[in-house]
Chain A
Amino acid sequence: MIRIENVTKYHEGRVVIDDVTLTIADNTNVGLIGPGGCGKSVLLKIVCGLIKPDKGRVLIDDIDVHKLKPTELAELRFRIGMLFQNYALFDSMNVADNIAFPLRQAGETDEELIAEKVKQALIDISLPGIGERYPNELSGGMKKRVSFARAVIRRPPIVFYDDPTAGLDPVTSSKIFILLRKMQHDHNTTSVTISHDIEGIKDICDRFAMLDRGRLIFEGDRPAIEACEDSLVSQFWQGYSDDELNV
């Protein structure tokens, strides 16, 4: 279980995350939504220990992430997979090495086994035979899928997806959501998915949380968010705006 308790983060005197408390139960996929710049990615980075909060704490299975020693934090991170918003593929490595990287770093030395796992991962993301290509030779959608394969190659029990379909066409987005659902179904992962694609995450998330200007303004399941009367939440969920455009 992941528990975020009263987390606050400031950046250059401005509050980015404002006293957020949220619980993510085991084997659930929480959809984290909200307008751009509301602090979703920062919250995700705080949860996996990449950014330290100024107040509050994050507990993963009752372990305070930000009080761990570097070696203990490294052990915890072996249990976490993360897909970054802008892919974060290593430019100096080809696709196969990018995907194999977490396995090698975890101490796997059997190159035949690694090659087999990489081959299967590329089949799973419908990109067989691109192992020798470099990230700069791939389209955005391909990079996203390779990044997904790298995030889950170690089969981590906890996975964070930061906007997995940003900037992708509807077909590729659909493929990514199918992969997310398959991962959830096959491996019972606990995950948090940030997305602006409400239609896409409606079907893959068990619960939803919405941030606005760093504050958590909603947390609940799908019926609850659909019945929510808060105008910000309902507008975001249904994708409309009360404001007139002055054009």
Chain B
Amino acid sequence: MHRLATTLQAPFHWLGQTALSWSFNAGGLALLTLQVLRNLLPWRWQFDGPETWRNLYRVGVKSFPIVVVTAVLVGAIMVIQSGLYIEQYGAYGLLGWGAGYSILREVGPILIGLMFSGRVGANNTAELGTMKVTDQVDALRALAIDPIGYLVMPRFIAMILMMFLLVVIGNFTALIGGAVTSQVLLDVNMVLFFQSVIAYVLLDDLLHGLIKAVAFGFAIAIISCHFGLSTSGGAVGVGRAVNASVVGSAIAIFVLDYAITFASL
């Protein structure tokens, strides 16, 4: 009888726990966003200089190679995909536009954002989570240091700034990758490719992608810091937090992408 009651209760128990967990995370994310924005106010502006430099290096310089490789491949894939139709209609002058438009507005920021969340966001959550479960965050507080100012703000600044710069570099590299591929595989002159980009791709398209880059950087920073700082339960807890952070960041990237694209219509 008791077993039957437990089995019947299980779905409600799961529902309740899931609702509580989602509420906790939604509240935590909102609270952390408010705390970060409050720390950005000129009269409350506080962050640790050396820690910011360390994060700029870790987040930006260390991500550079993987972003460049991804971007070159993205450019090449876009040209190969559109090349089928370009060859069919002989519209070689539109190849640069097709590749450039999709790279700058959509594919570049999204793929670099996902790479960034997998590499930087996961690493950030793991580092903060380990600090949390080994009492390092409490040690900071015991030393009269605000973990938001010391741990979160440098990461937040580094992630937004570096996501922006990496997307700029990634866009440029993807276009080079596309141009080289068009020359090698489709025999379309690279000069014609770039002329097409310059002629048809608008500044708005570039800005649209850069706005997405900043929004993705913001989301990845907040989500990865939240899951890191709310880690509990030792090494298993750190693993769970990293998983939640990567999944949460990916969802946020697609939701924001949809929202920004919709808003720009």
Contact = CB atoms under 8 A, between A and B. Distances in A.
Contacts of A82: 139, 142
Interface of A: 45, 48-50, 70, 73-75, 77-78, 80, 82, 84-92, 101-102, 105-106
Given A91-B130, A92-B54, A105 B145 contact: yes
Looking at A48, A50, A80, A88, which has the most chain B CB atoms within 10 Å of its CB?
Answer: A88
Interface in B144-158: 144-146
A70 B135 contact: no
Contacts of B146: 70, 74
B142 A101 contact: no
A49 B138 CA distance: 10
A43 to B, nearest CB: 14
B136 interface: yes
Contacts of A90: 131, 136, 139
B141 to A, nearest CB: 6
B8 interface: no
B143 interface: yes
Nearest to B136: A88
A152 B138 CA distance: 16
Given A91-B130, A92-B54, A84 B139 contact: yes
A101 B138 contact: no
Contact of B143 (A45, A49, A77, A87): A77
Given A91-B130, A92-B54, A75 B144 contact: yes
Report the interface size class on chain B: 10 to 19
Contacts of B18: none
A127 B141 CA distance: 26
B46 to A, nearest CB: 11
Interface in B213-232: none
A85 B136 CA distance: 11
Contacts of A70: 146
Interface of B: 54, 130-131, 134-136, 138-139, 141-146
14 contacts: A50-B141, A50-B142, A75-B144, A77-B142, A77-B143, A80-B142, A82-B139, A84-B138, A84-B139, A88-B134, A90-B131, A90-B136, A102-B143, A105-B143
A91 B136 contact: yes
Contacts of A45: 138
Contacts of A50: 138, 141-142
B140 to A, nearest CB: 8
Nearest to B145: A105
Contacts of B131: 90-91
A193 to B, nearest CB: 16
Contacts of B136: 88-91
The 8 lowest CB-CB distance pairs between A and B, nearest first, are A77-B144, A88-B139, A88-B135, A74-B144, A82-B142, A84-B135, A88-B136, A102-B143
A45 B139 CA distance: 10
B142 A85 contact: no
Nearest to A41: B135
A78 B135 contact: no
A139 B130 CA distance: 19
A84 B139 CA distance: 8
B175 to A, nearest CB: 37
Contacts of A92: 54
Contacts of B141: 49-50, 77
A78 B145 CA distance: 10
B123 to A, nearest CB: 12
A45 B135 CA distance: 11
Nearest to A101: B143
Given A85-B135, A101-B143, A106-B144, 13 more contacts: A50-B141, A70-B146, A75-B144, A77-B144, A80-B142, A82-B139, A82-B142, A86-B135, A88-B139, A90-B139, A91-B136, A102-B143, A105-B144
Contact of B142 (A48, A86, A89, A91): A48
Given A85-B135, A88-B134, A90-B136, A78 B144 contact: yes
Contacts of B138: 45, 50, 84, 88
Nearest to B58: A92
Contacts of A85: 135
A78 B135 CA distance: 18
A154 to B, nearest CB: 9
Contacts of B134: 86-88
Contacts of A102: 143
